[in-house]
């Protein structure tokens, strides 16, 4: 009997700790239930800012606009490698980042947003000789670039792209609470100009046009 009386305070302590734990769990659950998150606002009728691309191209007539959401860029080789510390680029140029890596810093400019933060990127078949099928869409964060064109905002975001065909969708815009609607797909084709002494490896425009066959032609780009 004395043994039970000696252990009784210990059991009460365990019981009290258990009650405190349940009370803490209840408060935490109630707080989570009352906290509301701001829903995403889906933006429709979003398109490329074609006038900005045309006005700031490094070389005239580099851009072709199949429609409001489809761009073909014939990129030209830059004479100097970019200073990676500053990342200052001109639109429409191919930069040599290493002895075998040539990329186009492509700004993603939409008429419905001041900044595009991220998108789902899909690489289409035929981008390289090793590609035999379309890739699965992956979510990518866009990289802040500084462009030499004064009409483009500082730290405007974009992607480093190789020669090839790409699709962007479900893009996160502005303050992160806006997104392009699920039906809007942006098509990009990057073509490299023919390098001196090398055969042209431009992708057929017919392959790109087939991706946008269901979209209307842009008459006022």
- Helix, strand or coil, per DSSP, at residue 7: helix
Residue appearing with tokens 């490329």: 48
Spatial separation of the C-alpha atoms in residues 91 and 89, rounded to whole Å = 7
pTM of the model: 0.70
Q: What is the pLDDT of residue 166?
A: 96
Burial class (CB in 10 A: 0-12, 13-18, 19+), 105: buried
Buried b (16+ CB within 10 A) or exposed e, 167-200: bbbbbbbbeeebbbeeebbbbbbbbbeeeeeeee
Spatial separation of the C-alpha atoms in residues 105 and 169, rounded to whole Å = 19
CA angle in degrees (0–180, nearest 5) for 113-205-164: 60
Query: In angstroms, what is the C-alpha Rg of the chain?
Result: 27
For the chain, 221 residues long, give each residue's pLDDT as a single digit of tens.
444 444 555 666 666 666 665 666 666 555 554 445 668 899 999 999 999 999 998 888 899 999 999 999 999 998 776 665 556 888 999 998 887 889 999 999 999 999 999 999 999 865 454 445 567 889 999 999 888 887 888 889 999 999 999 999 999 999 989 999 999 999 999 999 876 445 544 444 455 555 555 444 444 44
């Amino acid at each position: 009997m004395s043994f039970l009386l000696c252990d009784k305070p210990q059991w009460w302590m365990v019981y009290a700790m258990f009650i405190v734990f349940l009370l803490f769990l209840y408060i935490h659950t109630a707080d989570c239930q009352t906290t509301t998150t701001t829903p995403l606002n889906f933006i429709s009728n979003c398109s490329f800012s074609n006038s900005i691309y045309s006005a700031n191209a490094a070389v005239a007539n580099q851009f072709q606009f199949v429609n409001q959401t489809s761009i073909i860029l014939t990129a030209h080789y830059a004479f100097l490698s970019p200073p990676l510390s500053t990342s200052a680029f001109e639109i429409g140029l191919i930069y040599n980042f290493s002895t075998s890596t040539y990329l186009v810093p492509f700004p993603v400019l939409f008429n419905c947003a001041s900044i595009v933060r991220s998108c789902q990127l899909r690489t289409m078949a035929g981008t390289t000789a090793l590609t035999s099928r379309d890739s699965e869409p992956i979510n990518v964060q866009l990289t802040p670039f500084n462009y030499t064109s004064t009409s483009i905002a500082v730290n405007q975001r974009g992607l480093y792209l190789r020669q090839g065909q790409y699709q962007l969708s479900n893009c996160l815009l502005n303050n992160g609470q806006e997104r392009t609607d699920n039906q809007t797909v942006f098509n990009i084709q990057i073509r490299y100009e023919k390098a001196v002494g090398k055969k042209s490896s431009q992708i057929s425009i017919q392959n790109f046009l087939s991706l946008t066959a269901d979209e209307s032609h842009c008459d006022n780009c």
